[in-house]
Amino acid sequence: MLIEAVRAGGLLALQAFRSQQKSWLKDGDSPVSESDMAVNALLHDRLRQHTPGYGWLSEESADEPARLAAERVWVVDPIDGTRSYLAGSPDWCVSVALVAGGRPVLAALYAPVADQMFVALAGGGAALNGRELAVPDSGSISRSRLAGPRGTLERLARHIPDVESLPRIGSLALRLARVAEGTVDIAFASGRSHDWDLAAADLLVHEAGGMMTTLAGEQVIYNRPSPVHEPLVAAARQRHAAMLALIRGDPAAFQ
């Protein structure tokens, strides 16, 4: 049910991709488009129809305080990477996770332009288009491929001269999912990320054998009163530990 709903949402957005449509700015100068709202409505109708007792938290819906008391909560970003979507760039996706006890237990993330469907189940692994994912791990951050905010990558390049800073990936969820896929070695999120940017990719990374935590190594907890998070890092387990050790040596440089 989840995969079908997320795929339908992605295909709906794809129909209007690179076409003229209304868009506007909401709080924080974040763009939203007609497609964001249409995909949000589709996902809300389909998911709530099958799970009427679950809570709901979406970037494009008014917050429902009742979600805090719900045992299970859908966490939704109808189009993650709206700026890329509106600019005609391919790096956007539909991202949905089911959260229970503060952690994602089921996730689907669909990148329609590449027709890539990522899925993960807590304790059941992660897959991309049916292929099981396992994060490669050299245990070293040397020669790593990095993705994240430009300032963070520039500071890291001064600490680790032989790393490769990859081109910007506009969707944060997709950036993190690329760690699970193995095409990005270390990914960073700034301190302005939200539950809906993170939850699905978080489960993907963990179920593929990686880690995604705060810069202090703390687990990310979802469905709190505020959905905003501090800076985060995702990588294979040994590489993640090496990165945290580097950050602890100069924490101010990575804030």
The pLDDT tens digits for 143-186 are: 899 999 988 888 888 877 788 889 999 999 999 999 999 999 99
- With beta carbons less than 8 A apart as the criterion, state whether 64 and 56 touch: yes
Tell which residue, 134, 122, 149, has the closest CA to residue 237: 134
In this prediction, residues 195-211 reach a mean pLDDT of 98
In this prediction, residues 34-56 reach a mean pLDDT of 96
Is pLDDT of 253 > 70? no
The confidence band for 254, taking pLDDT boundaries of 50, 70 and 90, is low
pLDDT value of residue 151: 87
The tokens for 199 are 């939850």
CA atoms within 13 A on the CB side of 221: 7
**Given this chain, do its domains 2-132 and 145-254 carry the same CATH topology?**
no
Amino acid (1-letter code) at residue 104: P
Mean per-residue pLDDT over the chain, rounded: 93
Is pLDDT of 8 > 60? yes
pLDDT value of residue 160: 79
pLDDT value of residue 250: 65
The pLDDT tens digits for 99-151 are: 999 999 999 999 999 999 999 999 999 999 999 999 988 878 888 999 999 88
pLDDT value of residue 252: 56
Domain covering 2-132: architecture? 2-Layer Sandwich (3.30)
- In CATH terms, is domain 145-254 a member of 3.10.20.30? no
pTM of the model: 0.94
List Cβ neighbours of 38 (8 Å cut-off, separation of 6 or more).
12, 13, 16
Angle between helices 195-207 and 172-181 (to 10 degrees): 0
DSSP symbol at 96 = E
pLDDT value of residue 28: 67
75 or 254: which carries more pLDDT confidence? 75
CB neighbourhood size of 106 (10 A)? 20
Amino acid (1-letter code) at residue 43: L
Q: Within the chain, how many helices (H) and strands (E) appear? A: 7, 14
**In the chain, domain spans:** 2-132, 145-254
The pLDDT tens digits for 224-252 are: 999 999 999 999 999 999 999 988 876 55
- The strand pair at 164-165 and 30-33 is best described as unpaired
Tell me the three state secondary structure of residue 103: strand
